[in-house]
């Protein structure tokens, strides 16, 4: 009797659904879809009426929010591409795309951190995080002491922190070899794109400049390549980053003809930008990776073809480096003036600095800092107010030293060292070869961009700033996953709240 009653009850629900014609869940879905369509149509019409470019932003924003919520790694790659091409997007879309990189990074931090907290109720910290936080503390305290406006301080703080924030967001995801294979393919596609743009730039420099913008520079009849970017410096940094990744793959994973072609293309493109800092940084990074991690075949190739390459490259490179040293170090140049000025400011306001947005940063050039007037920069070529200040944010460390002081700059430098140490250590006892490739690539990127930071704002400007710390975030995630696996298998005991070191040692024994 009970069974019959149950069956009659179960059969009653379908009869009710057939009587009404549609299920309650389906009716709710239809209503929500219709409401969403009406809202979307309203946004599209409003955006088209206000500004046509806003339509692109609305659609792109909706797609990015969806990816960040449901496909975080796809969003990570898409966001990285948007950051790299942020300046190009500004030129195509207009001023409305000015804060593309900040928006992408903010969305990544919120979405990825929320996912991690919901799934595991904890977050993964970056290596050196405490030192970087100490740098920000000194910068904020300097801003308060020097009475810097909160809006100016916040804008400058976001600018210097966005690379670390992006790395922190990546650390909240769980990365696998499958993801690294996708990154590898994306890198090959990127090399193909920059090679095509470089060839077009080399073949038709005037026509290419009319499309991309910027100015054409020559040296000995050779046109400096700018590729997709408005300045050869940005193109050189990006191609150097790709070259380091290709060489690290040859050192760690395997060597092949295809990989040799990729290395040759990226090194040639970097050289043809005629940017000394990119060329020197690339040579240093490639030399370190080859000597420390290179396979025997790479060392043999270097010994066989090295003398010919040196005979071909070194003479013009010496000329380029000599001109750069003469211009930026020996002569009274804008870069050397900014460097000495930052040291003077940090010493005058010890233990603090001038505050965020007051020296060497982009905001300090837009809202011309009173520190520049005190130092007489308004009478130095390239360091004046307005359009005269084209070299005010042409370096990196003067901003770090001048705005946060000696102690803040020391904390930032120690944080960089912590990142390097983390990249030099294996992420797990059974680290895969692709994970090792990612980690060693990070070592090469750090060497490359730290060298470039002496003459370029690589920690805050696209396309370089996401590469400085991003790998550190991925490796931190791998290391956290390895610890979780060890605890799950019982190799490492979980730390109990309030337990002492002696108790933990006894539990291990």
Output the DSSP codes for 449-504. Answer: HHHHTTTS-TTTSTTTHHHHHHHHHHHHHHHHHHHHHHHHHTSSPPPPTT--HHHH
Same domain, 99 and 150: no
Close Cβ partners of 262 (under 8 Å, ≥ 6 residues apart) = 188, 191, 242, 246
Of 235, 276, 266, the residue nearest 464 (C-alpha):
235
Is the pLDDT assigned to residue 189 strictly greater than 70? yes
User: How far is it, in rounded angstroms, from Cα 446 to Cα 449?
Assistant: 5
Higher pLDDT among residues 451 and 509, named by residue: 451
Same domain, 476 and 425: yes
Is the pLDDT assigned to residue 306 strictly greater than 60? no
Q: Where residue 169 falls among pLDDT bands split at 50, 70, 90?
A: very high
| pLDDT, average across residues 488-507 | 49
For residue 11, is it within any domain? no
Higher pLDDT among residues 389 and 194, named by residue: 194
Is the pLDDT assigned to residue 9 strictly greater than 50? no
pLDDT at residue 6, as a whole number: 42
Same domain, 43 and 139: no
Which of 49-63, 164-178, 201-215 tops mean pLDDT? 164-178
Q: Where residue 143 falls among pLDDT bands split at 50, 70, 90?
A: very high
Same domain, 274 and 393: yes
pLDDT at residue 49, as a whole number: 52
Kindly report the backbone phi and psi dihedral angles of residue 490, in degrees, each rounded to the nearest multiple of 5, phi listed first.
85, 10
| pLDDT, average across residues 403-410 | 94
For residue 428, is it within any domain? yes
Same domain, 61 and 154: no
For residue 458, is it within any domain? yes
User: How far is it, in rounded angstroms, from Cα 477 to Cα 426?
Assistant: 12
Evaluate the omega torsion of the peptide bond into residue 82 and state whether it is cis, within 30 degrees of 0: no
Higher pLDDT among residues 109 and 221, named by residue: 109
Owning domain of residue 186: 131-489
Number of folded domains that form the chain? 2
For residue 1, is it within any domain? no
> Looking at residue 219, what DSSP letter applies?
E
Q: Where residue 240 falls among pLDDT bands split at 50, 70, 90?
A: very high
Same domain, 117 and 136: no
Q: Sign of dihedral through CA atoms 320, 322, 324, 327?
A: negative
For residue 10, is it within any domain? no
Same domain, 299 and 172: yes
For residue 382, is it within any domain? yes
Q: How many CB atoms lie within 10 A of CB 106?
A: 16
Same domain, 80 and 193: no
| pLDDT, average across residues 278-290 | 87
Is the pLDDT assigned to residue 98 strictly greater than 80? no
For residue 502, is it within any domain? no
Joined together, the tokens standing for residue 388 give 């005269």
pLDDT at residue 24, as a whole number: 57
In 112-247, DSSP assigns E strands to 218-219, 222-223
pLDDT at residue 12, as a whole number: 47
pLDDT at residue 10, as a whole number: 46
Higher pLDDT among residues 405 and 13, named by residue: 405
Same domain, 76 and 193: no
Give the percent of the chain with pLDDT over 90.
Answer: 33
Higher pLDDT among residues 135 and 312, named by residue: 135
Same domain, 410 and 457: yes
Q: Where residue 71 falls among pLDDT bands split at 50, 70, 90?
A: confident
pLDDT at residue 30, as a whole number: 55
Close Cβ partners of 204 (under 8 Å, ≥ 6 residues apart) = none
Joined together, the tokens standing for residue 153 give 């301080």
Task: Tell me the DSSP string of 315-351.
Answer: HHHHHHHHHHHIIIIIS--HHHHHHHHHHHHHHHTTT
For residue 505, is it within any domain? no
Same domain, 68 and 136: no
User: How far is it, in rounded angstroms, from Cα 321 to Cα 324?
Assistant: 5
Same domain, 84 and 188: no
Q: Where residue 19 falls among pLDDT bands split at 50, 70, 90?
A: very low
| pLDDT, average across residues 124-152 | 93
User: How far is it, in rounded angstroms, from Cα 467 to Cα 450?
Assistant: 11
């Amino acid at each position: 009797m009970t069974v019959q009653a149950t069956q009659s009850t179960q059969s009653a629900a379908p009869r009710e659904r057939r009587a009404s014609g549609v299920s309650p869940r389906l009716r709710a879905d239809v209503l929500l879809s219709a409401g969403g369509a009406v809202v979307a149509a309203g946004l599209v019409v409003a955006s088209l009426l206000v500004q046509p470019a806003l339509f692109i932003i609305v659609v792109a924003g909706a797609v990015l929010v969806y990816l960040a919520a449901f496909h975080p790694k796809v969003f990570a790659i898409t966001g990285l591409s948007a950051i790299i091409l942020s300046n190009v997007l500004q030129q195509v879309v207009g001023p409305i795309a000015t804060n593309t990189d900040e928006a992408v990074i903010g969305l990544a931090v919120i979405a990825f951190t929320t996912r991690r907290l919901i799934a595991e109720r904890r977050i993964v910290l970056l290596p050196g995080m405490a030192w970087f936080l100490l740098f920000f503390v000194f910068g904020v305290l300097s801003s308060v002491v020097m009475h810097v406006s909160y809006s100016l301080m916040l804008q400058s703080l976001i600018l210097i922190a966005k690379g670390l924030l992006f790395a922190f967001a990546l650390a909240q995801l769980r990365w696998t070899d499958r993801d690294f294979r996708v990154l590898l393919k994306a890198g090959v596609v990127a090399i193909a794109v920059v090679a095509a743009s470089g060839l077009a730039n080399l073949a038709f420099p005037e026509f290419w400049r009319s499309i991309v913008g910027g100015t054409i520079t020559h040296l000995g009849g050779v046109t400096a390549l700018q590729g997709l970017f408005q300045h050869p410096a940005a193109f050189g940094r990006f191609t150097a980053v790709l070259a380091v990744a290709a060489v690290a793959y040859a050192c760690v994973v395997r060597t092949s003809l295809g990989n040799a072609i990729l290395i040759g293309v990226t090194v040639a493109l970097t050289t043809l930008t005629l940017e000394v800092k990119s060329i020197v940084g690339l040579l240093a990074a490639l030399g370190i990776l080859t000597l420390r991690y290179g396979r025997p075949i790479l060392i043999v190739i270097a010994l066989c073809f090295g003398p010919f390459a040196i005979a071909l490259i070194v003479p013009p490179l010496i000329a380029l480096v000599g001109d750069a040293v003469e211009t930026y170090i020996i002569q009274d140049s804008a870069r050397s003036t900014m460097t000495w000025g930052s040291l003077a400011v940090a010493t005058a306001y010890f233990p603090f600095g001038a505050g965020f947005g007051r020296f060497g940063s982009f905001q300090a050039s837009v809202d011309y800092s009173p520190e520049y007037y005190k130092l007489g920069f308004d009478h130095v070529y390239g360091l004046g107010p307005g359009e005269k200040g084209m070299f005010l944010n042409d370096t990196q460390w003067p901003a770090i030293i001048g705005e946060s002081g000696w102690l803040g700059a020391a904390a930032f430098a120690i944080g960089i060292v912590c990142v390097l140490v983390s990249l030099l250590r294996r992420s797990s006892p059974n680290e895969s070869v692709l994970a090792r490739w990612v980690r060693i690539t990070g070592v090469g990127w750090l060497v490359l961009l730290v060298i470039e930071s002496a003459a370029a704002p690589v920690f805050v400007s696209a396309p370089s700033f996401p590469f400085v710390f991003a790998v550190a975030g991925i490796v931190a995630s791998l290391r956290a996953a390895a610890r979780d696996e060890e605890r799950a298998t019982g190799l490492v005991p979980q730390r109990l709240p309030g337990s002492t070191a002696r108790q933990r040692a006894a539990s291990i024994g």
